[in-house]
């Protein structure tokens, strides 16, 4: 991990990756650190690598099911051996807070055994808690991506510290 760090300050970590596998590795590391109640926002254009990162997160978290893209179903739910639940939401098609409620986002956030990963978080911002980890992925070349990870709140500052 150390070789890809570009910058690290208390509430921010910037990484670069040069392959989908490396992006998954970063996800894997993050997935191992996740706890129930965590909210991870994944922003970035189509093809930026959000879902690729999620596959790694799911693996590191210990998902018992295969992790894939929920684009056509809004949300995929995974479980691990510890009885945790991992929600992977794709908010691309949500128009407003009522839409976010209709897919059950408030219930996912209230689930004390649940961890939330949400792609296109901008579309559900009104429903998301102010404390969260915000990851912005940017296309920098065919095989390269930049990841900017920003923490809001102490829990997520700790998470960034552990990731670095």
Q: Which does 123 bind (CB under 5 to 8 A by kind): ligand ADP, Mg ion, none?
A: none
Q: How far is the CB of 158 from ligand ADP (least distance, A)?
A: 25
- Count the residues of the shown chain that bind Mg ion, applying the rule CB under 5 A: 2
Residue 17: in which H helix or E strand, if any?
strand 12-17
- Asked if 13 contacts 5 with a C-beta cutoff of 8 angstroms, the reply is yes
Considering only the stretches 33-41, 42-50, 99-107, 153-161, report the one whose residues sit in contact with ligand ADP under the rule CB under 6 A.
42-50
Tell me which residue has tokens 């219930």: 107
Interface mask (CB under 6 A) for ligand ADP, residues 94-133, using x and -?
-------------------------x--------------
What tokens appear for 67 in the block? 């992790």
Q: Per CB under 6 A, does 145 bind ligand ADP?
A: yes
Rounded CA gap, 59 and 15, in Å?
20
What tokens appear for 9 in the block? 């300050």
């Amino acid at each position: 991990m150390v070789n890809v760090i570009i910058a690290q300050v208390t509430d921010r970590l910037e990484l670069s990756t040069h392959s989908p596998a490396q992006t998954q590795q970063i996800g894997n590391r993050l997935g191992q650190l996740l706890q129930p109640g965590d909210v991870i926002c994944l922003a970035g254009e189509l093809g930026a690598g959000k879902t690729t990162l999620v596959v790694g997160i799911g693996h590191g978290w210990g998902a018992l099911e295969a992790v894939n893209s929920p684009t056509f179903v809004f949300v995929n739910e995974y479980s691990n051996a510890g009885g945790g639940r991992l929600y992977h939401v794709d908010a691309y098609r949500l128009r407003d807070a009522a839409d976010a409620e209709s897919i059950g986002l408030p219930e996912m956030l209230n689930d004390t055994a649940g961890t939330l990963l949400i792609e296109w978080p901008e579309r559900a911002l009104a429903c998301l808690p102010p404390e969260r980890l915000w990851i912005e992925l940017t296309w920098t070349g065919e095989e390269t991506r930049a990841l900017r990870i920003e923490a809001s709140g102490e829990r997520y500052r700790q998470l960034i510290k552990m990731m670095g």
